[in-house]
Structure 1
């Protein structure tokens, strides 16, 4: 039961992470802010999450998983309420920052709890769940928000963020039904010093997987920060569903690929992932240059399989290697690397949009992702045999 409760909470968490993206063009029109500000609103989430991960990444190793997870879910409920009531840029930025704080509390603690609660008769289930569930949640959030905007219209904010607020409060209560898997131990205050650490046994595997991890999350940042505006402004996607489909295509394909590749070796998964990221992003840029929305979405699906495979390869490699009392620390390191790759390029893209425009920024950003993914594939192909 505990394994299922945490997976449901993790899914709801990631639905909430991607749900705001299709709303940005609507809120931009209603409140009035520039495209640069829209990209920065997206980026402050990743930066707030990173700061929180650096400070609290191993906190659940000391206080227990349940208190940290429950606190993170309640913080997310506050952020959803702020989105729901947002009538100014200040409130919108505040909502995104608070959401980043909550996400930072949850990423490492939830991932560690999934591993802790892995059913004894299903070895490897935690690595698959920690890969499939987040991507499935991200895919669902973008699609559901787009559907709400197209069909609920003026009530869309209430439908999405009102429901998410309620769900986060309910999940914060439900998590106490799961058994506690990390006993309290000394050092909680000391653990708040900003640092990133990888347990020694996991270090070599983590470093091998790092290039593909960075390439995968840089790709995700490209689609989540620029995808909806590109569909709306460059590719003629008038409906909110079509704008949300970019997020759904990338992450839905990634989730499916994690399941398909669950029996592959870590090396095969990572090689496929990095190679497909490079090819898929290149095809995305070709579709953008051609002005084709169907091909843009098809390329996002192809790139998404690479994103999912890259993420699964990392989780498969490092998950079994950390002792229980250091799992929070390990997953904090994984997600710090992920969200640096995700957030920093998005911040730079925000400034690029203001200087050279959306289309040229997307082409430059995508070209960098192609190079990163190609390098990750070459390093994995020739750097080691395991």
Structure 2
């Protein structure tokens, strides 16, 4: 092989890798586009805050359904068919939102968007790592993480700025996203398959299981993960309401930035996680989450945007540190032949955390008001993280005598 041919192959490999990473980022971006637009839907259709949280929760239902249904499929039928299916679901969600004129359509759009995220969360992460050129292998895992969380963070920012400063506020972001999906489809189509398909694929449901020997690590990791993902759900589903009704800011671009910054901070937190001693990574994440939600609650109580935004940044950092550390701890404690199942169970807990607490916020706000509910939510998340922290410290104290 000539040097010029080798150079061309390397360039092609890099382009394919970046194309699939772009498809990952774009799909996740599409899942959070509605965030800064929820107050507009609420005003236009007369929805209550509870209904807005239910619409958001439909997304989590779609994610969980896709994780359980398709969690193992990419190993059987290949990465590309699953990724193309996820892109199709993302495009269908855009089409529904472009034509949404009822609660049923909004619920359907969110659920199908969740399906696209559920497919991509596992399959695209593995595909990005597998497609990484040799020179970039050391950064492949972080690229997958950055595409995931970065896309989730960019969604509210893009929709917020387009919704505030461009025409067609409820539709333009989805139209732009739909157009960009064409590029993503081409990128995935051109990528080579990284899986050797078996002659007779077995399309089984993903089991949820916590082996006995994993439970000591799983409980605190899952509690910390639940707290962190509950905060992500809070900012994605209800931050617009708190920004508007409690903090007095209704600029959609600003709402989008505040909702997105927690995901950007999470990406940074996941990058920082390796800087801490291994035994203290998850406890550090818990402690930072406690500090962050304390500031979020204080920002709501004081009606202070600066305090609220500071809390979003800090809690995002803590969530990122804790999520990567918790997932690593659970994976390390799992038998090799059950790691996929335990990991899926961990993600199941995480996505339940995204949906159930925000519906609780919608229900509780009707009884005691939005501000009081927000401060109560911050206290509960802080307590859950504190319990996880205590369990981790006790586990470490007992470890030497084990």
Q: TM-score, normalised by structure 1?
A: 0.89
CA shift in 2, pair 1:78/1:104, >3 Å: same
Q: Would the aligned equivalents of 2:227 and 2:384 in 1 still touch at CA under 8 Å? A: yes
Q: Would the aligned equivalents of 1:132 and 1:259 in 2 still touch at CA under 8 Å? A: no
Q: Does 1:167 align with 2:180?
A: yes
Pairs within 5 Å for 1:1-386: 1=14, 2-121=16-135, 125-152=139-166, 154-185=167-198, 188-192=201-205, 195-197=207-209, 209-317=221-329, 332-384=344-396
Q: Which moved more, 1:119-128 or 1:4-13?
A: 119-128
Q: Would the aligned equivalents of 1:61 and 1:325 in 2 still touch at CA under 8 Å? A: no
Shift of 1:175: 1.0
Alpha-carbon distance in 2 for matches of 1:203, 1:124 = 31
Q: Which moved more, 1:181-190 or 1:74-83?
A: 181-190
Q: Which moved more, 1:134-143 or 1:18-27?
A: 134-143
Alpha-carbon distance in 1 for matches of 2:211, 2:177 = 35
CA shift in 2, pair 1:51/1:257, >3 Å: same
Give the 3-state SS of the residue equivalent to 1:157 in structure 2: coil
Structure 2: 5+ residue stretches without partners: 1-13
Q: Would the aligned equivalents of 2:267 and 2:320 in 1 still touch at CA under 8 Å? A: yes
Alpha-carbon distance in 1 for matches of 2:332, 2:77 = 22
CA shift in 2, pair 1:236/1:253, >3 Å: same
Comparing both chains, which one has the higher relative contact order based on Cα–Cα distances under 8 Å and sequence gaps of 6 or more?
Answer: 1
Alpha-carbon distance in 2 for matches of 1:379, 1:359 = 31
Shift of 1:336: 1.5
Shift of 1:160: 0.7
Alpha-carbon distance in 2 for matches of 1:5, 1:320 = 31
Alpha-carbon distance in 1 for matches of 2:194, 2:219 = 28
CA shift in 2, pair 1:180/1:207, >3 Å: farther
Shift of 1:208: 6.0
CA shift in 2, pair 1:322/1:58, >3 Å: farther
Shift of 1:202: 8.5
Alpha-carbon distance in 1 for matches of 2:80, 2:219 = 30
Alpha-carbon distance in 2 for matches of 1:266, 1:54 = 30
Alpha-carbon distance in 1 for matches of 2:303, 2:67 = 39
Shift of 1:320: 8.2
Q: Would the aligned equivalents of 1:107 and 1:335 in 2 still touch at CA under 8 Å? A: no
Shift of 1:114: 2.8
Number of residue pairs aligned between Structure 1 and Structure 2: 384
Q: TM-score, normalised by structure 2?
A: 0.86
Alpha-carbon distance in 2 for matches of 1:59, 1:225 = 30
Structure 1: 5+ residue stretches without partners: none
Shift of 1:347: 2.3
In angstroms, what is the RMSD of aligned CA positions? 2.9
Alpha-carbon distance in 2 for matches of 1:84, 1:55 = 27
